[in-house]
Amino acid sequence: MPPSSTQTSCCSICLEPCRTFTWVHKLLRAFHRRIGESEAWSLVTCHHVCCHKCIGLWIEELARSRRFDQLTCPWANCQEAIELAHVRELELSATARSFVEQAHRWRLGTGVSCPQCRYINPLTETNATLLQPATKLVCTSCKTAMCTACANQWHPRQTCRESQGVRTLSATDVLFVHLAKVKWNYQPCPHCGIFTERRSGCASMTCRFCWKTWVWKSRR
Protein backbone atom coordinates (compact mmCIF):
# COMPACT_ATOMS: atom_id res chain seq x y z
CA MET A 1 0.00 0.00 0.00
CA PRO A 2 1.57 3.35 -1.01
CA PRO A 3 2.41 5.84 1.72
CA SER A 4 -0.07 8.62 2.35
CA SER A 5 0.64 12.00 0.76
CA THR A 6 -0.52 13.82 3.89
CA GLN A 7 0.10 13.72 7.60
CA THR A 8 -1.91 15.29 10.40
CA SER A 9 -0.37 17.64 12.97
CA CYS A 10 -1.85 20.07 15.47
CA CYS A 11 -1.68 23.83 15.04
CA SER A 12 0.36 25.42 17.83
CA ILE A 13 -2.14 28.31 18.08
CA CYS A 14 -5.66 26.84 17.81
CA LEU A 15 -4.58 23.23 18.60
CA GLU A 16 -6.83 21.96 15.78
CA PRO A 17 -5.58 19.28 13.35
CA CYS A 18 -3.92 20.57 10.18
CA ARG A 19 -2.56 18.70 7.20
CA THR A 20 1.09 18.50 6.15
CA PHE A 21 2.01 17.44 2.61
CA THR A 22 4.97 15.82 0.88
CA TRP A 23 7.19 18.08 -1.19
CA VAL A 24 5.61 16.79 -4.41
CA HIS A 25 2.12 17.82 -3.36
CA LYS A 26 3.44 21.15 -2.07
CA LEU A 27 4.89 21.79 -5.52
CA LEU A 28 1.58 20.92 -7.20
CA ARG A 29 -0.37 23.14 -4.79
CA ALA A 30 1.99 26.04 -5.42
CA PHE A 31 1.57 25.55 -9.19
CA HIS A 32 -2.22 25.58 -8.93
CA ARG A 33 -2.18 28.22 -6.17
CA ARG A 34 -4.51 26.22 -3.97
CA ILE A 35 -3.76 26.47 -0.27
CA GLY A 36 -6.41 25.70 2.32
CA GLU A 37 -6.73 27.53 5.63
CA SER A 38 -6.38 24.26 7.57
CA GLU A 39 -3.18 23.23 5.81
CA ALA A 40 0.02 23.28 7.83
CA TRP A 41 2.57 26.09 7.74
CA SER A 42 6.03 25.07 8.96
CA LEU A 43 8.61 27.02 6.95
CA VAL A 44 10.68 28.26 9.90
CA THR A 45 13.81 26.19 10.58
CA CYS A 46 12.37 24.92 13.88
CA HIS A 47 9.62 23.10 11.88
CA HIS A 48 6.89 23.83 14.41
CA VAL A 49 3.46 23.65 12.79
CA CYS A 50 0.61 26.17 12.49
CA CYS A 51 -2.36 26.25 10.16
CA HIS A 52 -2.29 28.92 7.46
CA LYS A 53 -5.32 30.71 8.88
CA CYS A 54 -3.89 31.07 12.40
CA ILE A 55 -0.38 32.16 11.41
CA GLY A 56 -1.84 34.72 9.02
CA LEU A 57 -4.16 36.21 11.66
CA TRP A 58 -1.35 36.18 14.23
CA ILE A 59 1.05 38.13 11.96
CA GLU A 60 -1.73 40.60 11.10
CA GLU A 61 -2.30 41.24 14.81
CA LEU A 62 1.44 41.74 15.45
CA ALA A 63 1.50 44.21 12.55
CA ARG A 64 -1.34 46.22 14.12
CA SER A 65 0.47 46.44 17.47
CA ARG A 66 3.93 46.76 15.80
CA ARG A 67 5.51 44.15 18.08
CA PHE A 68 8.69 43.50 16.10
CA ASP A 69 10.24 41.57 18.98
CA GLN A 70 7.43 38.99 18.92
CA LEU A 71 7.65 38.11 15.21
CA THR A 72 8.99 34.64 15.99
CA CYS A 73 7.61 31.13 15.83
CA PRO A 74 4.41 31.12 17.95
CA TRP A 75 5.34 27.82 19.57
CA ALA A 76 5.87 28.29 23.32
CA ASN A 77 9.42 29.44 24.17
CA CYS A 78 10.58 29.17 20.52
CA GLN A 79 12.61 32.18 19.37
CA GLU A 80 13.12 31.32 15.69
CA ALA A 81 12.57 34.53 13.69
CA ILE A 82 9.95 34.70 10.96
CA GLU A 83 11.34 36.26 7.79
CA LEU A 84 9.69 37.46 4.57
CA ALA A 85 10.65 34.23 2.78
CA HIS A 86 8.62 32.27 5.34
CA VAL A 87 5.36 34.10 4.62
CA ARG A 88 5.35 34.32 0.83
CA GLU A 89 2.56 31.76 0.45
CA LEU A 90 0.38 33.36 3.14
CA GLU A 91 -2.48 35.67 2.20
CA LEU A 92 -1.29 38.72 4.15
CA SER A 93 -2.26 42.36 3.77
CA ALA A 94 0.25 44.84 2.36
CA THR A 95 0.59 46.30 5.86
CA ALA A 96 1.52 42.92 7.36
CA ARG A 97 4.09 42.20 4.63
CA SER A 98 5.62 45.62 5.18
CA PHE A 99 5.70 44.85 8.91
CA VAL A 100 7.69 41.64 8.28
CA GLU A 101 10.18 43.62 6.16
CA GLN A 102 10.53 46.28 8.87
CA ALA A 103 11.01 43.59 11.54
CA HIS A 104 13.89 42.18 9.49
CA ARG A 105 15.59 45.62 9.40
CA TRP A 106 14.96 46.14 13.12
CA ARG A 107 16.39 42.71 13.96
CA LEU A 108 19.59 43.32 11.95
CA GLY A 109 19.97 46.97 12.96
CA THR A 110 19.79 48.11 9.32
CA GLY A 111 16.89 50.54 9.69
CA VAL A 112 15.93 53.86 11.29
CA SER A 113 12.64 54.35 13.12
CA CYS A 114 10.74 57.44 11.94
CA PRO A 115 10.08 59.81 14.90
CA GLN A 116 6.69 60.68 13.43
CA CYS A 117 5.07 57.39 12.30
CA ARG A 118 7.60 54.79 13.66
CA TYR A 119 8.09 53.19 10.24
CA ILE A 120 11.46 51.35 10.11
CA ASN A 121 13.18 52.89 7.11
CA PRO A 122 15.97 51.00 5.33
CA LEU A 123 19.46 52.44 5.43
CA THR A 124 21.10 53.00 2.04
CA GLU A 125 24.79 52.83 1.18
CA THR A 126 25.09 56.59 1.66
CA ASN A 127 23.68 56.53 5.20
CA ALA A 128 24.50 52.96 6.19
CA THR A 129 25.66 53.84 9.70
CA LEU A 130 23.98 55.41 12.72
CA LEU A 131 27.23 57.14 13.67
CA GLN A 132 28.30 60.71 12.98
CA PRO A 133 28.43 62.48 10.62
CA ALA A 134 24.64 62.53 10.53
CA THR A 135 22.84 62.37 7.22
CA LYS A 136 19.31 63.24 6.17
CA LEU A 137 16.81 60.47 5.49
CA VAL A 138 13.21 60.96 4.29
CA CYS A 139 10.69 58.49 5.72
CA THR A 140 9.26 56.19 3.07
CA SER A 141 5.87 56.15 4.79
CA CYS A 142 5.08 59.71 5.96
CA LYS A 143 7.89 61.70 4.20
CA THR A 144 9.24 63.13 7.45
CA ALA A 145 12.88 64.18 7.21
CA MET A 146 14.97 62.57 9.95
CA CYS A 147 18.52 62.30 11.18
CA THR A 148 20.21 58.91 10.79
CA ALA A 149 22.43 59.50 13.83
CA CYS A 150 19.85 60.31 16.53
CA ALA A 151 16.65 59.13 14.75
CA ASN A 152 14.95 62.46 15.48
CA GLN A 153 13.58 64.99 13.01
CA TRP A 154 16.20 66.46 10.70
CA HIS A 155 18.11 69.37 12.29
CA PRO A 156 20.16 71.30 9.71
CA ARG A 157 23.10 73.36 11.00
CA GLN A 158 22.79 71.76 14.45
CA THR A 159 24.45 68.76 16.04
CA CYS A 160 22.25 66.05 17.53
CA ARG A 161 23.06 67.26 21.06
CA GLU A 162 22.26 70.88 20.17
CA SER A 163 18.98 69.86 18.54
CA GLN A 164 17.82 67.93 21.60
CA GLY A 165 18.99 70.68 23.96
CA VAL A 166 16.71 73.37 22.50
CA ARG A 167 13.55 71.59 23.59
CA THR A 168 11.84 73.25 26.55
CA LEU A 169 9.36 71.72 28.98
CA SER A 170 6.09 73.30 30.07
CA ALA A 171 4.87 73.22 33.68
CA THR A 172 2.66 70.23 32.80
CA ASP A 173 5.63 68.43 31.25
CA VAL A 174 7.74 69.03 34.38
CA LEU A 175 4.96 67.61 36.57
CA PHE A 176 4.60 64.56 34.34
CA VAL A 177 8.35 63.88 34.43
CA HIS A 178 8.35 64.15 38.24
CA LEU A 179 5.39 61.75 38.62
CA ALA A 180 6.82 59.31 36.08
CA LYS A 181 10.16 59.07 37.85
CA VAL A 182 9.09 59.30 41.50
CA LYS A 183 5.53 57.99 41.83
CA TRP A 184 5.02 55.71 38.81
CA ASN A 185 8.58 54.34 38.75
CA TYR A 186 8.98 54.84 35.00
CA GLN A 187 12.42 55.13 33.41
CA PRO A 188 13.29 56.99 30.20
CA CYS A 189 14.80 55.16 27.25
CA PRO A 190 18.45 56.34 27.15
CA HIS A 191 18.28 56.49 23.34
CA CYS A 192 15.12 58.53 22.65
CA GLY A 193 13.89 59.61 26.11
CA ILE A 194 10.46 57.95 25.94
CA PHE A 195 9.29 56.87 29.41
CA THR A 196 8.91 53.11 29.86
CA GLU A 197 7.01 51.07 32.43
CA ARG A 198 8.41 47.73 33.59
CA ARG A 199 5.77 45.37 34.93
CA SER A 200 7.69 42.09 35.17
CA GLY A 201 10.49 40.06 33.61
CA CYS A 202 14.21 40.62 33.30
CA ALA A 203 16.02 43.96 33.19
CA SER A 204 16.55 43.86 29.41
CA MET A 205 14.17 46.41 27.82
CA THR A 206 13.18 47.15 24.22
CA CYS A 207 11.85 50.64 23.57
CA ARG A 208 8.46 50.62 21.80
CA PHE A 209 9.28 53.91 20.07
CA CYS A 210 12.86 53.68 18.76
CA TRP A 211 13.11 49.85 19.16
CA LYS A 212 16.57 50.02 20.71
CA THR A 213 17.53 47.85 23.69
CA TRP A 214 18.70 49.01 27.10
CA VAL A 215 18.97 47.78 30.71
CA TRP A 216 16.53 48.77 33.46
CA LYS A 217 18.36 50.29 36.43
CA SER A 218 17.37 48.89 39.81
CA ARG A 219 16.71 51.45 42.52
CA ARG A 220 17.03 49.10 45.47
The residue range of the domain holding 42 is 6-106
Let me know whether 151 and 198 are in one domain: no
Cα 118 from Cα 128, distance rounded (Å): 19
Q: What is the pLDDT of residues 14-46, one digit of tens each?
A: 888 876 654 444 444 544 444 455 566 766 778
The reply to whether 33 falls in a domain is yes
The reply to whether 1 falls in a domain is no
Let me know whether 69 and 138 are in one domain: no
95 has pLDDT over 90: yes
Let me know whether 62 and 146 are in one domain: no
Cα 120 from Cα 112, distance rounded (Å): 5
Most confident stretch, 14-18, 60-64, 74-78, 149-153: 60-64
The reply to whether 220 falls in a domain is no
pLDDT classification of 7: cutoffs 50, 70, 90:
low
Alpha helices in 33-151 (DSSP H): 52-65, 94-108
2 has pLDDT over 60: no
Domain final residue, candidates 129, 146, 163: 163
pLDDT given at position 133? 60
Let me know whether 117 and 91 are in one domain: no
Cα 210 from Cα 194, distance rounded (Å): 9
* Residue 2: cis peptide before it, omega within 30 degrees of 0: no
Most confident stretch, 7-11, 27-31, 137-141: 137-141
pLDDT classification of 143: cutoffs 50, 70, 90:
very high
Q: Is residue 51 within 8 Å of residue 11, measured between CB atoms?
A: yes
pLDDT given at position 37? 52
Let me know whether 144 and 87 are in one domain: no
pTM over 0.75: no
Cα 113 from Cα 147, distance rounded (Å): 10
Q: What is the pLDDT of residues 154-166, one digit of tens each?
A: 988 887 777 776 5
Q: What is the pLDDT of residues 176-196, one digit of tens each?
A: 777 766 667 788 888 777 778
Let me know whether 94 and 118 are in one domain: no
pLDDT classification of 132: cutoffs 50, 70, 90:
very low
